[in-house]
Structure 1
């Protein structure tokens, strides 16, 4: 809960002495105070500098306190505490009906006034926080294609995200390659109270002890922990973290020791596509690290288990890619629908997205073609570790183009310019690489 030092109050009273007394009382306990002699001045200031609570005199020239209170009903105003030397029961009842938080008579008890103001400000902050969280959670229904769907599985996933997003405990996301675990992590972050700080992603499979020491425990401002402070650290491929790095990761999570002896103010979200029972049994993952990361588990369903979403998702992807490429949105035939539903989608949503892009690009060049011609399992399966120079070059090109596509929101002209290649070459590489 915020302390009084975090709160801001409006004091509105035409009596200069009382106004000064109220301001001195609040400033003594750490409040920031804005003072006004006229109600209309305060009404103008609320829009640009809204306080957490207001202390308002009832009898004032021009606009009375009750009149100001009535004006505030039209906006999402902070709580108001009315004070007056002319108070009586009918006036108190009217003030409460107009929306006042409480009503105090002069001379007021300073302790009672401070208590009422603090409680009012705390409740106002909680209402604002709840409103923001509801807005974020409502927006999750449109968070990329992963959360677009009508099946029970995807509905349960949304509910799970909503349930755990507001906690700060570590979350482990499990699911096959391509189901969208990174999007679930993004959803958790955006719906949390940490959403104002960007989420930082770390691929644990690429870590070495030296690199981990630099990222985790270097007290400089360039360290990964410093960048993620106040936000979310997404540990991708956590089960592939090298065994000699796992104790360092465990130390960071358990002790919050960043080398500078400051707590790591970070929410940990991790993801893996590996069988963790096997990883634990073979010693590829430490049990203590697993139990520390897996306080809450979120399972993302494979696409084959939510077949009723396949056509909806495919149409969504095609519409997006057609708009990005300034192409005609392809019309699905019954044969197209049958082909989409018959395929098992081992690469899940990522593979479906790649097929949609190929379908749009191939149709742009050659006219409408069957969707079946765009489904090429050999280019959509999960990427393996390159064994030849050609495979390594293809993997590098895939990563470069994919990053450029993400950074430019799929604008192909910008992607081509960023990579220094022509549009035709870019389209050919996208199709060839199955992006």
Structure 2
């Protein structure tokens, strides 16, 4: 029995690498494409596997279509090539069973084909129908076009999902102030890249939230997002947690442990509080980031993992480098791109919006109406310094809702659990005065008493500044 697939493959044996063994090496025709071949004739399966392997396809060959659905999920092919007449489940039955699902295109082949069968196959959703014996060139062209069409369809779906994430970003990073708008724009710009990013920001500013947004908007979105708080790991266990543990280390009965780097393979590794990384582990971490290769504790053979690194710190690491507690070369590798997250006190215009958003969330959770935001509540929100940033504001909103369930409470009362609320102004006018007092004092201190410079920084005239200093009861001498 002659097989055109095998004959064509033998005729084309000009050094192309076979991929029938799923070796991962690229061939000449369609590198990286995956195909499931289903045929109950073993010689035909072997012939098709040989032909497709020579052309650079990764091939999964099946003797019947019974388990095809499960293999599609595991192998994720770009196209399916199936015989029509097979015991158990025919090619037409397979086509009908996959109708409506987001499955790869199906190309049907049959030695018993006729016009009615071809029409039925196309009506049921087959990409095309070929009769045996088929022209190998025509077959390869049909498969290549089917795979390209499927990849294009997938790319379009990913683009739609990405656009949906863009609108989600507005809901995740709430605010209309310029600092938060700039941050959203930076995240969108970096989402499509694989650049290493360092996030700088005070506690509670949302560094992990930004890291997740960078992951969700990246081509690695389908992979894992692994967060590791370096400060939470004891130094004695840091390398084991980061790089893993070989089963032979520490005695014959030792249990192997998978490290964080291995778990992050194909996704994003978020290293929070990176400044707490022990100095002995920093050299290994630097090599792992540069080569995507590392040695588990006690292992003799390196392990490879492909991951993107996003790190975070609540302060710049220059002082740690100067003190010799953080490697300068590791810092340069981590801070390829630096994003600074603004503290809440630098975007006060966003505070009412954020507060009402969190209140609405918690009110829905506890099934009550959101408590009204009174002028006194607004004054308390705007006058507080928010050392805990957005995280503190969220907790205040939750406590306000919990108090509202019992028919009482205020924002000032919710804040007082985080500190002394005796200085909270009772009116909006007092809150504005308190806010102005803080801004003017900060400007005078920043410019070391040079009033012209302070007025310019505040965007007001020198005379207006002097009037406000008198009105607000500020003492210049006390500030400098």
Which residue does 1:132 correspond to in 2?
158
Which residue does 1:97 correspond to in 2?
none
Select which of 159, 169, 184 maps to 1:158. 184
Which residue does 1:191 correspond to in 2?
217
Which residue does 1:223 correspond to in 2?
259
1:312-327 equivalences under 5 Å are 312-327=353-368
2:68 counterpart of 1:31:
no
Contact 2:192 2:218 in 1 (8 A): yes
Which residue does 2:227 correspond to in 1?
201
2:295 counterpart of 1:258:
yes
Name stretches of at least 5 consecutive residues in structure 1 with no aligned partner.
86-105, 381-435
Determine helix, strand or coil for the equivalent of 1:201.
strand
Cα distance in structure 2, aligned partners of 1:152 and 1:127: 37
Which deviations, in whole Å up to 9, do the C-alpha atoms of 1:339-360 show, x marking residues without a partner?
A: 3234342321111101101211
* Further displaced range: 248-257 or 135-144: 135-144
Which residue does 1:372 correspond to in 2?
412
Contact 1:142 1:148 in 2 (8 A): no
Q: State the Cα distance separating 1:267 from its structure 2 match.
A: 2.1
Contact 1:11 1:54 in 2 (8 A): no
Contact 1:141 1:147 in 2 (8 A): no
Contact 1:204 1:241 in 2 (8 A): yes
Which residue does 1:287 correspond to in 2?
328
Which residue does 1:8 correspond to in 2?
35
Contact 2:400 2:411 in 1 (8 A): yes
Cα distance in structure 2, aligned partners of 1:118 and 1:221: 42
Determine helix, strand or coil for the equivalent of 1:128.
helix
Q: State the Cα distance separating 1:42 from its structure 2 match.
A: 5.3
Determine helix, strand or coil for the equivalent of 1:31.
strand
Which residue does 2:104 correspond to in 1?
52
1:326-345 equivalences under 5 Å are 326-345=367-386
Contact 2:269 2:310 in 1 (8 A): yes
Q: State the Cα distance separating 1:23 from its structure 2 match.
A: 5.9
2:402 counterpart of 1:361:
yes
Change (3 A) 1:312 1:21: farther
Cα distance in structure 1, aligned partners of 2:114 and 2:185: 51
2:226 counterpart of 1:168:
no
* Further displaced range: 201-210 or 256-265: 201-210
Q: State the Cα distance separating 1:2 from its structure 2 match.
A: 9.8
Determine helix, strand or coil for the equivalent of 2:198.
strand
Which residue does 1:210 correspond to in 2?
236
Change (3 A) 1:273 1:146: farther
Contact 1:7 1:31 in 2 (8 A): yes
Cα distance in structure 2, aligned partners of 1:227 and 1:312: 38
Change (3 A) 1:62 1:116: closer
Determine helix, strand or coil for the equivalent of 1:297.
strand
Which deviations, in whole Å up to 9, do the C-alpha atoms of 1:255-312 show, x marking residues without a partner?
A: 3213341212222211111123333344343221111112233332322333343222
**Count of residue pairs brought into register by the alignment:** 346
Contact 1:318 1:360 in 2 (8 A): yes
Contact 1:209 1:245 in 2 (8 A): no
TM-score (normalised: structure 2): 0.60
Determine helix, strand or coil for the equivalent of 2:303.
coil
Change (3 A) 1:339 1:49: closer
Determine helix, strand or coil for the equivalent of 2:280.
coil
Name stretches of at least 5 consecutive residues in structure 2 with no aligned partner.
1-23, 61-80, 247-255, 421-480
Change (3 A) 1:119 1:343: farther
Contact 1:237 1:271 in 2 (8 A): yes
Contact 1:217 1:257 in 2 (8 A): no
Q: State the Cα distance separating 1:120 from its structure 2 match.
A: 4.0
Determine helix, strand or coil for the equivalent of 1:310.
helix
Change (3 A) 1:291 1:323: same
Change (3 A) 1:281 1:377: farther
Cα distance in structure 1, aligned partners of 2:96 and 2:346: 56
Cα distance in structure 2, aligned partners of 1:2 and 1:120: 22
Determine helix, strand or coil for the equivalent of 2:82.
strand
Contact 2:196 2:309 in 1 (8 A): yes
2:283 counterpart of 1:247:
yes
Using CA pairs below 8 Å that are at least 6 residues apart, which structure has the higher relative contact order? Answer: 1
Q: State the Cα distance separating 1:134 from its structure 2 match.
A: 3.7
Cα distance in structure 2, aligned partners of 1:190 and 1:123: 25
Which deviations, in whole Å up to 9, do the C-alpha atoms of 1:224-267 show, x marking residues without a partner?
A: 23333333221000123233332232233223213341212222
Which residue does 1:432 correspond to in 2?
none
Change (3 A) 1:146 1:49: closer
Determine helix, strand or coil for the equivalent of 1:375.
helix
TM-score (normalised: structure 1): 0.66
Cα distance in structure 2, aligned partners of 1:81 and 1:27: 19
Q: State the Cα distance separating 1:210 from its structure 2 match.
A: 3.3
2:143 counterpart of 1:117:
yes
Cα distance in structure 2, aligned partners of 1:187 and 1:344: 27
Which residue does 2:471 correspond to in 1?
none
